[in-house]
Structures are given as structure tokens and as C-alpha cells.
Amino acid sequence: MEGQNPILMMIKGNLTRPSWAFLFLVFTGATLFAIQITKKSGFPIEPFFSGDGKNSGLSGQVRQESCSGFFTEGPPRKVMKSIVEFGGVGDGKTSNTVAFRRAMEYMENFREKGGSQLNVPRGRWLTGSFNLTSNFTLFLEEGAVVLGSQDPKEWPIVEPLPSYGRGRERLGGRHISLIHGNNLTNVVITGKNGTIDGQGKMWWDLWWNRTLEYTRGHLVELISSHNILIFNLTFLNSPFWTVHPVYCSNVVIRKMTILAPLTAPNTDGIDPDSSMNICIEDCYIESGDDLVAVKSGWDQYGIAMARPSSNIIIRRVSGTTPTCSGVGIGSEMSGGISNIMVEDMHIRDSAAGVRIKTDKGRGGYIANITINNITMERVKIPIRFSRGANDHPDEDWDHKALPKVKGIIISNLISMDSKKAPLLEGIEDSPFEDICIRNVSILGLASPSSAKWNCAFVSGFSFGVFPNPCYQLKNNVSSSWCSNSEKQR
């Protein structure tokens, strides 16, 4: 394997456990990164690689695996300014939209001249949306709170994403995200656990009242961007999906707390979309939708664009969502999804734990998904493969566009106080194949009927599963890849 990138090797094929060479690379990279972060750099936060995902520093800690190497730190920013220097007022009432936009216009001048950093000090900084620039750091000091404007006009309308063809909720355009970027490189959004609060209730009410004119905006959306770090912040009350990297590469989202009321509609935590080399780890999420959802475009628009999501690692994420899943693959997956590793998750009080979502008309594929070491508490349906609910962008979707689902490994999963056994529903004309379920225990089921697996149009293998799985997963012929998958990790 000489000459190949060990990070990419880790997530290729069957996503086997990285070699000692890779672990040495991670250790070396962490050490160099820690050395380079100084007060002089303007990036005075703890190193990526803390031992337990909570405490800063490396001394005395047991090092955990990390995919933070997807992000490459650049040289220190040449210019650092405070939002106060652009007229910002942190009283929670004064609009700072002009100040933030003026600041970003100034920072744009340094994208090719050493880069820049905008510091947001302690205070409550009300603002409408603003666009980031390349070679840039947005740094929130301790006690800094950025508040989303309550005026919809300060969230301008932008074109729909080409892989969706329209706004996800309404025809036509969509509101821009509060913090936005397009065609950027080398961007950091971080701080000393400062807060970005979208104040989404206004938007949720419009959704509930069916009075939305355009699709709601995200809290943070980065489009067609590369080498991005979002780290050590709290995100609250997003109007719609909270963090949405789309058509991006080499994105690290780490040590984030993402919160929304459990009844807030469609407030997904993190949704990588048509993106590759994505690292999501050490995050806590509470939301009214999926904690993490991997996507890649919607029906004929996603098929035409053909931008897959691939090489994505989701690790040490915990949280709750009463209506959706801890991790969802789909349902918008028409550009294809492959090489996804999910491990060390803790999901509680949720409708579903692990969910694969697709439907007729989607096309595309879901392949080579590895889900390992998952703990669930009071999750209604721990494992669910499901079809959609006739959810299509318009009448031009292709009824013959069938998704291909193959190669799903779910291992070392325990669900306590469960309500129902797994529900695995494939598609009649395109069955889900090579499903491997091993070392899985679904506990707390109250009756024989609730302990019965429900499967249709799926095939695969199972080992060490309780309660007994459906007959479609009892085909142990040529299943050595499944029985040996644990040894390969």
C-alpha cells in the first residue's frame, strides 16, 4: 500500500480498522497541531485530540481515534479584527447585520494576503445573514452569543441547490443560512464555546401554520467548499437543518453541542450532503429530526448532478430525537452514498436508532455502510430500513429510477428498553442485499409480537442476534465476509 493516503485507506473498502502507521500519523499530526496553536496565531483553543472528547490537553489522557486529519491547518491569520471595530453592539437588541457584512467585506481583501480572523467578544450580537470568505476564522469568545435576526428580510432568498431543483419545503428559492459560504477554502468557525442561536421559533411557527413562502434557512451552510473546521461551539435553535455542508470536501465538525426543542420541525443536527471526506465526532445533539443525516440530492435532480456522499466518519455522537433517528442515511440519496463509518454512538429516547431511508424515484445507491458499537436506550425501533412517503420534488420524477442498496454491516449494537424489533423494508423491484447483522441485542420487548422482526425485500446474514431475526437474514451461505467482519475491524 506504499504511497497511498492512510486516512483514505481507512475508509475504503470494508472500512477496516486503521493500521499502526495510521495511528502514528494521527499522533504526530496532533502533536504538531498542538505545538502550532498559540495565542499569537489567533486560534487559542485546545488541541483537537483531547483524551475523552471533553477535557482539554493531552497530558495523562488516553488518546482516541480521530478523523480530524481531514482538516489541514494553514498558517496563522495575518489580520485580526473585532466586530466592535465595525460598529458592532452586543446588547442583544441592536441589529449588527451591517456590521457583520461590513466586516466580511473588509476580510475579503485578505483572502489571498495571509488570511483574516473576526473575533466576536462577550455579548449578545443580533444579526441577519452574512457570507464568509476564504482563509478566514470566525472566533467566538467565551460568553459571545450570535443571535439570528427575527426579520425574514435579513435572510435573503437564494437559488435552490441544483441537486434539489427547488427549495426542500417550498417551490422556488430558499432563505439563505445565517452563516453562509460558497466556493471557499480554509475556513474555521470556532471559539471558546461561544454560541450561535438561530432563534428559530419564528420559522417553526410559520411551518406549523403553513404560512412559509420559501424554504427555511440553515444555521450554517457551506457550498462547494474545501478544508473546513467547525469546532468547540454551541449551536441553538436553527430554523431548519443546523449544519449543512453541501458539495464540500475535507470538513471536520468536532466537539459541538447542537440543541433545538424536541418538537422543532426538521431541525437536523448535521447533514453532510453530496460531500466527501467528512469527519463528525465528539458531538452532543438534541433536535426535532435526525441527529446526523447523510444525503446526496433529491430524485431526478440528484441523479442528474451525480454528486455522491462518500468517505464519511461519524464517531462518538450522542443525543436524542423523539421523532426521527440517531443516524439516517437518506432519504435524499439520489447522487449515491458510500463508504460511511458510524461508531461509538449513544442514542436515547428516540423514534429510531439507525435508519436507511430511500424510495422509488430516488435512483442512486447506498453501499458499503459500517455501523459498529452503538448503545441505545428507550429507542422505539432500533434498526429501521424504510421507504419514503411519496416524497418527491415535482411530477417529473422517474418512477423507474430504483435505488440500489448493498453492503450494510451493523455490529455490536445493544438497545435497552426497546419498543419494537427491527423493521427492514426494502423495495420490491430492487431488494436490499448483503445486509450483515451481528452481535446485536434488542432488549426490553414486552410481547412476542413486538419481538418479531418485520422484513420485506431484504437479504443477508446474521450472527449472534437476539431476538431471532427474520428468515431473510438467516441465509448463511457465502457469508464469511459477514462473520469475519468483526475480525477485520
Amino acid in position 143: G
Q: How far apart are CA 398 and CA 421, in angstroms?
A: 33
Q: How far apart are CA 316 and CA 339, in angstroms?
A: 18
Amino acid in position 172: G
Cell for 378? 428507550
Q: How far apart are CA 310 and CA 13, in angstroms?
A: 11
Alpha-helix runs per DSSP H in 144-225: 201-208
Catalytic residues: 289
Q: Which residue has the cell 452586543?
A: 90
Q: How far apart are CA 277 and CA 156, in angstroms?
A: 30
How far CA 397 is from CA of 18, 335, 389, 414, 430, in Å, comes to 41, 14, 14, 39, 17
Beta bridge partners of 338: 310, 367
Per the CB < 8 A criterion, the answer to whether 194 and 144 are in contact is: yes
Nearest in space to 248 (alpha carbons), one of 222, 269, 230, 229: 222
Q: How many helices (H) and strands (E) does the chain have?
A: 7, 31
Give Cβ neighbours of residue 480 (< 8 Å, ≥ 6 apart): none
* Long-range own/partner contacts, residues 460-464 (CB < 8 A, 24 or more apart): 460/408, 460/432, 460/433, 460/434, 460/435, 460/436, 461/435, 461/436, 461/437, 462/436, 462/437, 462/438, 463/437, 463/438, 463/439, 464/438, 464/439, 464/440
Neighbouring CB atoms inside 10 A of 28's CB total 11
Distance of CA 28 to the CA centre of its chain: 27
